[in-house]
Chains A and B, each alone.
Chain A
Amino acid sequence: MKLTEAEKAMYDGQQGPAKQKAMDLLMRYGEALGAERLVEVNNVAGAFNASTPSVRELVKKGFDAVFSELNLDSQEVVKIPHMAVNTCQLITGIDNDNWRIQGIPEDLAEQQKNAEKHFGALGINMFATCTPYQVGNVPVKGEHCAWMESSAVIYCNGVLGARTNTEGKESTGAAALTGRIPYWGYHIPENRRGTHLVEVDIDVNDIMDYGLLGYWMGEIVQEDVPVLTGKIRNPSLIKLKHFGAAAASSGGVEMYHIPGITPEARDVEEAFSGRKMVEKLRYGPAERKLAYDRLNCADNRDVDFVMLGCPHNAIEQVARIALQLEGKKLSSKTQMWVHTPRALREVAERNGYVKMINDAGGVVMSDTCPAISRYAPKGTKVIATDSAKQAHYLPAILNLPVWFGTVEECVEAGLTGNWNGGLK
């Protein structure tokens, strides 16, 4: 890899041991990729918090040791300075207020708060959400970023037209300290062009259908770049958030085009821009049913846990849930957690949505989700969720069966304790 003078100075240790270790990792990573150089980034979204049981032993050695090993792959403990560029914390394992309800041990909740105090002062902004683009981190078209969180990466590339690969805990740590990331993959314009044409033959309009389309498509195109045409109705932040999260779960989709909607393709021709189309796919009723059946792995209709908000809910989604619950009570057998970024929870409080949800017996959570924390309410046997991503991961992570459906079906299941959803 070719380095600039400034990069060489960091690599040689002239900017201190932490930047040296960071450059060492970026060199190993860049060479593994086959990258020729690094690119400057000023927008990093990563995972820096110490909220999992696995890091307990490392925490005893101090937060420099945590960052050195887990964010720089350095076995030598180096003193971590202030972050060099804009950096934010993505979702964590613990809700700082509702950790008891989650079932998190007190020492772990303390550990996360201590880590936040330490890393917060070093310039890691504690958004604590999988959706930084919902709370103020909205990169502009063409901006080079170093983001983790597959659902945020696909949003950043596909919807915003900014440029990031799916980075990891270690590469974002190195990027935050150096302002550099390998110039590879989706940083390079040619790689952002389409590979597959997806013709959508049936109306895709609500959140569930956006999720089903994304889930079906991701499994087929894996990490390629689909171009979608046809009956994609009324796209919005919320729908594209669910679509992308699903496509990045069943496959590894990091970039897509909806010509006329997303910023890098006015039409199908521009979406491909001369790149050869690998395959043309059709999405119809059979494909929709296939995705639905794959996401629904439960057979017991007694639902005892409803999870809403993966990726984290927008304020409109919190409102929709609150209004459906207003004046009603959840079944005594069923618990409901509604997840939204902490900044939006503040808004939800002011609007009265949090009270409506609480009065019905539900909990509004921030900072985390069941898949990340690996905690569901104690004794949970069957889960219902409106998220294709959560429905994909929870059976593996919590070893529990999941029903997937619309927001209304999930709230209904919370009120009755029974799953009455189905593909209509």
Chain B
Amino acid sequence: MTNTDVRANNKIVLRGRKVVGGVAEGEALVTNDTISGWGGINEREGTVIERRHELRGVSFKDKILVFPGAKGSSGYSAYFHMTRLNGVNPKAMLFPKMTTKAALGAVVTHAPSMTDFDQDPLKVIETGDWVRVDADNGIVEITKKAAR
């Protein structure tokens, strides 16, 4: 990636591996903290509730959630599953660290998801950037908020 590439179409492109197929776009919500499902999110509101979490009180509903990966309880998938049933799930998930929790959580949320990126999405994407996730083709397009 060079500056020229970015200026040419005002977009940054990341490549990665599909976790859950599909296409989604929206505003990014980025955290460097791993996320717990059970005990870490409110499944009725789609908010992070963990004490000492940098997103505490923030909603991920309809956001492109960019986070390192999952942690904590095995209730992770069940809680993200319920965010879908309650209509407050993230639109897409991008996470570099693969675990069973993160994989199953993404699968049952039915949200396009990716991992194994050629660049670290936590360094490239900032909260407020516009992100298009094409998980089927393994492509993430980022429009920086400054350019929006």
- What residues make up the interface of A, taking CB atoms closer than 8 Å to B? 25, 28-29, 32-34, 47, 54, 69-70, 73, 147-150, 153, 165-171, 182, 184-185, 222-223, 248-249, 251-252, 294, 297, 371, 392-393, 395-397
Contacts and interface: CB of A to CB of B under 8 A. Distances in A.
A185 B81 contact: no
Nearest to B56: A396
Place the interface of chain B in its size category: 35 or more
A73 B105 CA distance: 11
B119 interface: no
Contacts of A166: 74, 99-101
B98 A167 contact: no
A168 B97 contact: no
A253 B4 CA distance: 43
A222 B101 CA distance: 13
The main secondary structure of chain A at its interface with chain B is: helix
B77 A171 contact: yes
Contacts of A185: 99-100
Nearest to B82: A54
Contacts of A395: 51
Given A222-B34, A223-B71, A248-B72, A170 B81 contact: yes
Interface of B: 17, 19-20, 34, 39-40, 43-44, 49-52, 69-78, 81-82, 85-86, 97-101, 103-108, 113, 116
Contact of B100 (A69, A70, A168, A222): A168
B115 to A, nearest CB: 8
Contacts of A167: 74, 100, 104
Contact of B101 (A28, A168, A184, A397): A168
A34 B17 contact: yes
26 contacts: A28-B107, A29-B103, A32-B103, A147-B74, A149-B73, A150-B73, A166-B74, A167-B74, A168-B100, A168-B104, A168-B105, A169-B78, A170-B78, A170-B108, A171-B104, A185-B99, A222-B71, A223-B69, A223-B97, A248-B72, A249-B73, A252-B70, A297-B51, A371-B39, A393-B39, A393-B73
